[in-house]
Amino acid sequence: MGILILPYAIIASSFIYTSMTKFLKMAGCGNDFIIFDAINNPAPLLNKRTIQRLCNRNLGIGADGIAVIRPSQEADAKMEIFNADGSRAKMCGNAIRCVARYLFDKQIVNRKEIKIETDSGIKHARVLKEDVSVEMGEARIINLVGGGIEIDVGNPHIVFFQEPNEDIIKKHISTHNVEFARIVSDREIDMRVFERGVGETLACGTGAVAVAAASIYKGLCGSNEILVRMRGGRLRIKIGSAQAIMRGNAEYIFQGEIKI
């Protein structure tokens, strides 16, 4: 693979390559993604090894994951999301905000309300002036596990209200995203996240929803509208009886072409 990035950076590479593919790099709260628009461009040929190489921060573009935007018969577009280790995820809160922002800015969808198909169902996004909000569905409490709360938010999560613990991370990260949370006030929580297939990241959108839902379940927060602070930024989460709404930024980093 060889990489040509415009306009902000150029990465030299000695990879052997076969075809040129356009890409975009975006981030939500520091959680960064390589995005391929397979609606307007040829679909990239991705396998596990290629995904790992592209996400490698020394040998590739570098990212927490890859999002592929495809046509959808059920929604305005479809998002496929892959972790940095090459595994496929059902949903990603930070990535879907980036995809919604891109679809609107590139006029692929000419309205601010956008329906995006994912492996965990169709999500409704709304592009705001600076942020993007997404209806994430229900945050379902699944189980209590070893002092943690297992929650399904399209992706599997386990939330612990304590400082990060290496033994807990090793035990659960092969099957779950693992969050460690600290209550700041009735409306504010600090959080660190260790994502399945990636490791520690600066932020996780579905993880922020899981933490907010867990705090309400345990009676630790007195409001259903919570600001979740992560190492990469902040997300505003509103927990309803059947719907969780996530709101946060979606930023462009750079665009370019890569030969895969």
Query: Rounded to an integer, what is the distance from CA 147 to the centroid of its chain?
Result: 26
Catalytic residue, from 29, 55, 92, 98: name it.
92
Name the residue type at position 70.
Answer: R
- Give φ, ψ of 45 to 5 degrees: -95, 100
* Catalytic-residue membership of 29: no
Q: Spell out the residues 6+ positions from residue 150 whose beta carbon is closer than 8 angstroms to its own.
A: 141, 142, 143, 144, 156, 157, 158, 176
Residues 258 and 20 sit within 8 Å (Cβ to Cβ): yes
Work out whether strand 132-135 and strand 121-127 pair parallel, antiparallel, or are unpaired.
antiparallel
- Give φ, ψ of 108 to 5 degrees: -70, -35
Distance CA 230, CA 208 (A): 8
Q: Spell out the residues 6+ positions from residue 191 whose beta carbon is closer than 8 angstroms to its own.
A: 179, 180, 181, 182, 207, 208, 211, 228, 229, 230
Catalytic residue, from 29, 55, 98, 204: name it.
204
Name the residue type at position 81.
Answer: I
Residues 259 and 17 sit within 8 Å (Cβ to Cβ): yes
Distance CA 180, CA 162 (A): 6
* Catalytic-residue membership of 98: no
Residues carrying an active site annotation: 92, 204
